[in-house]
Every structure is written in structure tokens, then in C-alpha cells.
């Protein structure tokens, strides 16, 4: 009799243990990720994220609207594309860049987090005048690079581009989509 009762208690304890274990696994396994915690998956290298895709062209002009240089650009016009920018790119041709379009002309600020390439970052107002250039930015830096003046567009090119083609604040751009 004692053995039967012992076996029954043992089996009941074992049963409750497994039920408890399954409940705990279900509760913790099905929890929603808190909204204030963001898992950064952008550092996972993906060929589609780092391959250049021509979506338009930017034309750099001097103050007299004389063409100085044309480049092919990818266009970043939504939050996700603007956030990613040129992060994780390991190289870019001299005549390539990224063109950022914002919904409003207002002070903008960029940083170089997860950006391998040193860049020249060119801020442009809605009248298509260059209002600020940050030259030869430091890769991986989280230092803020502000436009100082309101900007609606930003062009990122390889570091040294603006010096090589003598592009300066006050010059103009024009652009078009493919």
C-alpha cells in the first residue's frame, strides 16, 4: 500500500513538474519584445544592402549653374532607407553616392555609426543650394554632423570628392530619378 501511494505521489509530482515546465516555457517563449528595446539586425551583412542600385542622378553646379560633376545615386526617401544610408558599404565608385530626400526643410543631422567609408556629407536646402559640407567624416563615429541651416536634401559621396571637384557651400545641385 505504501509503495502504491509512493508511486502515485511520484507520478503526480512528475506530472505537475512537466505541466509547470511547459507553462513556463510557453509564457516566456511567447512574450512580445518590449517596444523600448530595439534589436539591431542591420549589422547582418546582406548583399542586397551593400550593392549599389542606381535610382537617379545628381548634378553638381557652380554658382552660375555650370555643370561641375554628375554622379549616379541611390535614393533614400523613407525612414528605413535614410536610417540605413551607406552603413556597411565597403566601397563606392567616385561617380556614385546616396541622395537623401526629407519631407520638410529643417535642420538635419547625420552620424557615421556603422559606416565603413569616410564620406563628404553635403546638406542642400529646398532651393537646391549647398548650405553645409562635412568633409572626410570619420568612419564609425557617432559624433553629430549637423546641417547648421535648414536642409531638405543630403548627398553622401566618397571623402575628398568635394575638394577634388571644388564643390563648396553656396554651389547648387540638380537631380532626377531614373
Q: Has residue 42 been placed in a domain?
A: no
Q: CB–CB of 87/100 below 8 Å?
A: no
pLDDT for residue 20: 63
Judge whether 117 lies within some domain: yes
Eight-class DSSP state of 34: P
Specify the pLDDT at position 23: 59
Does 63 fall in a domain? yes
Q: Between β-strands 67-76 and 96-106, what pairing exists: parallel, antiparallel or unpaired?
A: parallel
78-113 per-position pLDDT tens digit: 999 999 999 999 999 999 999 999 999 999 999 999
Torsion angle of the four alpha carbons 102, 103, 109, 112, in this order, in degrees rounded to the nearest 10? -40
Sign of CA dihedral 176, 160, 163, 87: positive
**pLDDT for residue 51:** 87
**Domains in the chain: how many in total?**
1
Residue 125, in any domain of the structure: yes
Only one residue has cell 553638381, namely 60
119 in any annotated domain: yes
Q: Which domain holds residue 155?
A: 47-177
In a domain, 167, yes or no: yes
pLDDT given at position 28? 54
CATH at residue 152: 2.60.120.1140
User: Is residue 23 domain-resident?
Assistant: no
Q: Scanning the structure block, which residue is given the C-alpha cell 553635403? A: 122
Per-residue pLDDT of the chain (178 residues; tens, 9 = 90+): 445 544 555 565 666 665 665 655 555 555 544 443 333 444 444 544 578 999 999 999 998 999 999 999 999 999 999 999 999 999 999 999 999 999 999 999 999 999 999 999 999 999 999 999 999 999 999 999 999 999 999 999 999 999 999 999 999 999 999 9
Does residue 41 belong to any structural domain of this protein?
no
Amino acid at each position: 500500500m505504501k509503495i502504491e501511494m509512493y508511486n502515485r505521489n511520484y507520478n503526480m509530482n512528475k506530472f505537475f513538474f512537466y505541466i509547470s515546465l511547459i507553462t513556463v516555457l510557453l509564457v516566456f517563449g511567447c512574450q512580445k519584445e518590449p517596444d523600448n528595446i530595439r534589436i539591431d539586425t542591420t549589422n547582418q551583412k546582406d548583399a542586397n544592402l551593400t550593392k549599389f542600385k542606381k535610382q537617379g542622378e545628381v548634378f553638381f553646379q557652380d554658382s552660375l549653374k555650370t555643370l561641375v560633376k554628375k554622379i549616379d545615386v541611390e535614393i533614400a526617401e523613407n525612414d528605413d532607407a535614410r536610417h540605413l544610408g551607406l552603413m556597411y558599404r565597403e566601397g563606392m565608385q567616385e561617380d556614385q553616392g546616396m541622395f537623401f530626400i526629407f519631407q520638410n526643410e529643417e535642420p538635419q543631422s547625420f552620424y557615421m555609426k556603422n559606416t565603413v567609408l569616410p564620406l563628404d556629407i553635403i546638406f542642400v536646402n529646398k532651393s537646391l543650394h549647398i548650405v553645409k559640407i562635412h568633409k572626410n567624416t570619420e568612419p564609425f563615429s557617432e559624433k553629430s554632423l549637423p546641417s547648421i541651416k535648414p536642409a531638405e536634401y543630403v548627398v553622401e559621396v566618397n571623402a575628398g570628392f568635394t575638394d577634388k571637384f571644388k564643390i563648396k557651400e553656396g554651389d547648387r545641385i540638380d537631380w532626377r530619378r531614373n
